Homo-oligomer: A and B are copies of this chain.
Amino acid sequence: MADKNVISLDKIKVACHDCSLAELCLPMGLRPEDVDRLDAIVKRNRPLQRGDNLFRAGETFRNLYVVKTGAVKTFTQSNDGDEQVVGFHLPGEVLGLDAIQDGSHGCSARALETTAICELPFERLEDLSSSIPSLQHQMFRLLSKEISQEAEMMALLGRSTAEERVASFLISLSERFKRRGFSATDFFLSMSRQEIGSYLGLALETVSRLFTRFQDEKILKVERKHVQILDRARLQAMVTHHHNCEPSQARPTT
């Protein structure tokens, strides 16, 4: 809607209009004055550098976070030190929804590259939701969407071969980039093979091999972090095989 660029002085407000609140507001349109009220509670912090933590597991939950630019991973750590990636978060996506429940974060979040974040104090958001029914509705939808997406991921992990998982991962990234106005067929992975593997429940070598194989089969062109999707149809076919209950692309929702 508001397509303005970020302006230095009025940065906070504008930043929110054009990005952070898109996820919350655009889907069903709050009234402009309500958007302003929402804007008023949003904070924008200095950008995170690669490796910086946004929050850590166990910390008290106070804010939801919206990725403006960059990318963030969420992960848990096993007691023997190695980490398990539970999500990647691209621009426009929200973090922290799992922490509302018990007031503390259940996973840590770390920037995969230089990343700008908006912060939404959850208590304020709750207050506002009480007085703006359509915001409450958006909040419910937002939470519900997260549940759907996770369920889809569970179905993927519960059923798929390594091939399906990697294909599905690429399609997911592709769609998410596309939605934010980036190329759906040509993008950079901000995460390592290791992190992809951890997320998909595969060894990093398996991920690497699949990338190589897809390239040999002319489905992808991969050059380190740079991925180009050459044959989306075949990628899709690998996944469609398990038909995720909702006809994903049949409805132009979202």
- Which of A's residues lie within 8 Å of B, judged by CB? 57-58, 76-80, 84-87, 97-102, 104, 106-108, 126-127, 129-130, 133, 136-137, 139-141, 143-148, 150-155, 157-159, 198-201, 240-247, 251, 253-254
Docked-complex contact B130 and A133, CB < 8 angstroms: yes
Given that A86-B155, A158-B84 are contacting pairs, would A78 and B241 also be in contact in the complex, using a CB cutoff of 8 Å? yes
CB neighbours of A78 from chain B (8 A): 241-243
CB neighbours of A97 from chain B (8 A): 143-144, 147
Docked-complex contact A136 and B146, CB < 8 angstroms: no
Given that A133-B130, A157-B154, A245-B57 are contacting pairs, would A106 and B148 also be in contact in the complex, using a CB cutoff of 8 Å? yes
CB neighbours of A200 from chain B (8 A): 158
Query: Please, which residue of chain B has its CB at the minimum distance from the CB of A242?
Result: B78
CB neighbours of A151 from chain B (8 A): 86-87, 98, 106-107, 150
A200 to B159, CA, bound (A): 8
- The 6 A-B pairs at the shortest CB distance, nearest first, are namely A76-B245, A100-B144, A143-B143, A158-B201, A157-B157, A101-B144
Docked-complex contact A141 and B243, CB < 8 angstroms: no
A77 to B159, CA, bound (A): 12
CB neighbours of A108 from chain B (8 A): 245
Given that A130-B133, A151-B150 are contacting pairs, would A57 and B246 also be in contact in the complex, using a CB cutoff of 8 Å? yes
Q: List 28 A-B contacts (CB under 8 A).
A: A57-B245, A58-B245, A58-B247, A77-B245, A78-B241, A97-B147, A98-B151, A100-B140, A100-B143, A100-B144, A101-B141, A101-B144, A101-B145, A102-B246, A107-B151, A126-B136, A129-B136, A130-B130, A139-B140, A143-B143, A146-B147, A150-B151, A158-B198, A158-B199, A158-B200, A158-B201, A159-B198, A159-B201
